[in-house]
Structures are given as C-alpha cells and as structure tokens.
Amino acid sequence: MVADVVHIDRAAGPTGRDVHGALQLDGISLRVLTPNAEVLQAVVGMLVPACSVAEPTAAVQWTLRVEEHHTRAGAGAGGDLFQGRLFLELPYGGRRLAVVGMDDGVMRLVAAYRRGALPVVMEVDARQQVTRLLVTPGDAVGLRWADYLARVFFASRLLGSGWRMLHASAVAVDGSALVMLAGRHGGKSTLAHRAVRDLGAQFLADDLVLIGPGGTVVGWPTRVAVPAQLAGDCDGRRERRVVAGVVRERVLFTPAQHRATLGVEYSPPVPLGAVVIVEGSGAAEAGVRAEAADAQTLDRAVAGAADVPQQLLYVSDPLGLMGGPRLADQAAGTAPPVGLLAGVPATVLRVAVEQLPQASVWQALEGVVSGLGRRR
C-alpha cells in the first residue's frame, strides 16, 4: 500500500467557519458540517423531505463533514487509480472505493463516483464518529458521494431495526401513502407520475421505498425516471430502451432536478394507506379493470418487490464508512417479508403497460384513492 497515495491541501475555507444542518429520520440524527453554505444546501437537499431538517431532538449519532479541497491521487500502473489495489465496486455505474491507509485510527479511502470522474477522499474517524468527504471545488459529480454516505447512514440503521426496502413506487394522497407494486418495467413509475399530475398527489418515490414496522412509508429515490409522455419538453437526460418489443423513453432527473424542473411537491414520511398491484400481462384487449387482491396475491407481490439484493448494497455499510450496523445485524431487513403489508387494503389493477400513460386508471381506482384520507 502506498503511504502517500492521496495528498490533501488543508487550506482553510473562505470564511474560516462552518455552517451546519441536522438531518433526522425516525429518531436517527446526522449532522452535516461544511465551510460552504451552497455545499450544505446541496447535500441537505438530497434527502429532504424524506428526512427533516432541524436541530436534532435525539442525540447526533454521526457527523458528515464535507469540504472542498484540491486533491491529487497517485495512480497505479497505467494511470488507473485502483489498479493493483483491493477495492469495492458497486453495480450500476461502476462506483469504486479503496482503503488506502489507516493513521491513528482514521481510515482513509479514495473513491470515484463513475469511470473517468475526479477522485474524492474520505476519512473515517470511528472514535470521533466523523466522516470527512473531500471533493475538488466545483466537482458536482464528486459531491454526490455525500448523498451516498447519508443514505448509508440512515438506511443501514433502519434496516437493522426491522425496516424493509421495496422495489415500488409511492405517492401521498390526503396524508396517506398509496404504494404501487409491479414487476420490472411493469408501470409503477408511470402510475406514480400520473398520480402527481392527475390527482395532485405528493411524490414519494418511483423506484424504491422504505417501510417501517409500524407502517410508515419513506420515499427513497436516488434518481427519478419520468415517462417521456408525462415529462413533455423539459430538459433532462433522456433514456430510450425497447422492453418486450415496446419502445420506452424516459427522462432522468436527480430528486433536486425533479423538484426544480417539474415543480413536483415531495412528501415527508406518511402512514401506509393502500396498495395497488399493477398486472399488465394479458390485459391489452381487456381495457382497465380493478379487483380486490387476496392475501396470497399481496404476499407474492411484496416478496417480488423485496427482492432487491443489488439495491441493498447501496444502503449497507460493509466498510464502516458511517458507523452503520454490521451486515449480520441487518438481517431484520432481509428476512422473508410475509405479512409485511397485511391488513392494508390492496387492489389488483389490470392494464397493459403501454396503455398506462392514457388509460382511465383513476376511474377504476376511484374507491381506493378516495378512501385514503379516511383511513388515517
């Protein structure tokens, strides 16, 4: 291991003072410190309103300090920062982290958010319960590691206490969560964005949600994919795929871009109100139908939605970056989810996926949606 793999310019920030904010979720609190108020706003905005921002009512369990510094990292043979070193690589995008040193109990890592990105430096002091993230000034991509670290902090602790992560979409209607379950490319994202547009619902997530043992639903979007038919001509990164012979075009946003560009209102955590299971197979000629889901159908849909091994990698803390529970302690968050949504009104919505952007889904789900506020 090369001792001087990373050099840090430790010059003071422009003001010499830190600004700070506290993020809270379910009694867990993370303090964010930085010399730059704009950086603080960018970091805090990533997880709001899933997390509230206020002076902590519970003891702060960890501090994330984000600093802008010019860093230079020594590369291995061939100019590859990670070549010849043991590193952790996450799926979807190739994010890499490598431990490069341990000095006086402080673990030092170098990380790249994606191939070709500028490296960032992380320093983890478990005794002081502080993680420092050092990003090159102006590096918006590197700053997204702050979002990753904050998500690891909260979600690893929630999963360790019995919360579950589901591959699902969700919106809030009259203060209660409407959760949509479907298979991969099954239309749950389209239904969530239609609820925002057609019903004035508040957005929770279009891909991942966390559900607590008491039925609290927290949106956990890392990115938002809006169907092109619903996004219009707004700016955003466009993605075009062919799924089961059907052309699928989406516009991709970060949550902050989603709020700013489309003016979407996000919901804080809310109690679970109802579940809609989207079933598109064999529905193309039958129009739109809705029927009550029995317990077996609901359990089967929940089991499929809970099968998220790769997504769980992003909210686990195997390197101890944010002092999270050991992987073995997160077993409560990966146990079979039988009965997770038991007792919640559940409906099967039968509609072809290609028809979802225009189909009369709310007429079919009128009783489900109108009854949400009365179930609180």
The per-residue pLDDT for 282 is 58
Residue 49 has pLDDT above 80, yes or no: yes
The per-residue pLDDT for 112 is 93
Residue 288 has pLDDT above 70, yes or no: yes
Q: Where are the domains positioned within the chain?
A: 6-160, 164-222+259-308+334-375
Number of H helices, E strands in the chain: 9, 23
Q: What is the DSSP string of 239-264?
A: EEEEETTEEEEEEEE-HHHHHHHH-P
Lowest-confidence range among 71-75, 271-275, 349-353? 71-75
The per-residue pLDDT for 78 is 37
Lowest-confidence range among 9-13, 48-52, 134-138, 168-172? 9-13
Q: What is the DSSP string of 184-230?
A: TTSSHHHHHHHHHHHH-PEEEESSEEEE-TT-EEEE--SSEEEEHHH
Q: What is the CA radius of gyration of the chain?
A: 22
What are 61-115's pLDDT values in tens digits?
Answer: 899 999 988 766 554 433 477 888 888 898 877 899 999 999 899 999 999 998 8
- Domain 164-222+259-308+334-375 CATH class label: alpha beta
The Cα 44–Cα 35 span in angstroms is 14
The Cα 362–Cα 349 span in angstroms is 10
The per-residue pLDDT for 242 is 67
Mean pLDDT of 230-247: 76
Q: Which residues contact 278 (CB under 8 A, 6 or more apart)?
A: 180, 181, 182, 186, 187, 188, 191, 349, 351, 353, 356
The Cα 40–Cα 46 span in angstroms is 10
The Cα 111–Cα 121 span in angstroms is 6
Q: What is the pTM of this model?
A: 0.88
Nearest one of 277, 339, 308, 273 to 155, comparing CA atoms: 308
What are 8-34's pLDDT values in tens digits?
Answer: 444 444 445 788 888 999 989 999 999
Higher pLDDT, 142 or 11: 142
The CB-side HSE value for 16 (13 A sphere, CA atoms) comes to: 0
The Cα 373–Cα 363 span in angstroms is 17
Mean pLDDT of 115-139: 93
Residue 249 has pLDDT above 70, yes or no: yes
- What is the separation, in whole angstroms, between the first and last Cα of the chain? 57
- Percentage above 90 pLDDT, the chain: 45
Please name the residue ranges forming H helices in 58-208.
Answer: 140-160, 188-199
